[in-house]
Structure 1
Amino acid sequence: MPARPALQPGERVLVSTRAHGARLTRPFLVLLLTVFALSFAQRALELRWRPVAEPWTTVHAGVELALLAAAGWMVLRSCVRPLLRWWRTRYVLTTRHLVLLRPGGARRTVSLPLHQLRGVSVERRRSPALGRRDGRVVADFGSFGGLRLEHAPEAQRLAGLIRRAAEDEWAAGGAGRAGDPGSGGGAPGPRPTRVDRDAVVAPRPGPSVAPHRPWSRRVVQQEQE
């Protein structure tokens, strides 16, 4: 998977990061519990049942292999896969798009144009912060959908950078750039596909609703669908 999305002429990467390491807390706990459960089961098997004659010795060995296979499957599914997904998933902010890069290549990439940004916020965490500054950043792009960036590092700062980049894009006349979805010209840009838990579909506003940007006094007319 590329470290950054395909950029349009004149487009620059402003931020490229991945989720905070706190997202690996659950896989780590699953790993500890799996190792503990395997050790306990093996010890109990040795103490309770130690056959010395066939065919029970073969059955005993088969049970041990089954325990190892079950533990390996649990570690692979609940620990290794989330670790690889975390490592290969990146949150990228460019001068024109907010992009979610995920394993699977371009078909799994979600790229939304900043000139359609309606609002961005940081949702309050349910658990204690414990000194961490990560959080869930939710960016609403109106009829284009939205992104939910889980455990985004420096969440408040990232949200501010997204707002600033959107304002700069509008100041540069980004609504009419060729190649952006909805611009009315050029080749279509990347569109959100196979949206899952990292992305949310925002409510579709009515065609006459004008999105208001709370961080500025500008009111941008919503493009007719």
Structure 2
Amino acid sequence: MTKLSVNINKIATLRNARGGNVPNVVEAANNIERFGAQGITVHPRPDERHIRYQDVRDLAPIVSTEFNIEGNPVDDFISLVLENKPTQVTLVPDDENVLTSNAGWDTLKHRDYLREIISEFKKHNIRTSIFVDPIKEMIEGAAQTGTDRIELYTEDYATGFAKGNKEKAVKPYADCAKLAQELGLGINAGHDLSLQNIRFFKESVPGLQEVSIGHALIAEALYEGLATVIQEYLSLLK
């Protein structure tokens, strides 16, 4: 079964919009795990516009499933990860003012940089994943960094699926997943995956170990509730 890690950034966004501590991100994480999700993902950014660095510190001791911290490996982020030692760190090349993640790493250009950072995380037994576009050269470059996994950036798939071109849209991902497995890399995926498009992606992409879903899942939960939506995802990911 492909594991479901729920990104709780949007819960923090809602809290920050009003101030105070409602909704409580720690309570939300506890409930999400109780409802059956196999992981919690957070993506703190330098401006802390959703998940704050203190949220990461609060979550680290209470998350009982897999804890995944995503972000651009600037010095403060690296220190935060090493302080809290999650199950997994996912390296994302976000520009400082980007609204949401919008590209994967150029793993050829940044190979040595990534290799150095990944080496440091692995010294502390933290599994590493690199956010990449579904381009074979980027998969090959990732394999040279020492990373444990890649996370396939799935916005193009979601866009193609919505336009009715699901077979064409998923093919680069299936091809890259096969190559990644041949190179000894684990496979994660995320960005714009939803209840509508997740099943076909899961069925088409071999070796998919984990998906990280936030925006769509939280939006869907506004209508159906977190418990129901999480169970729907788990059913589709079997």
The alignment's TM-score, normalised by the length of structure 2, stands at 0.20
Larger relative helix fraction: 2
If you compute each CA radius of gyration, which structure gives the higher value, 1 or 2? 1
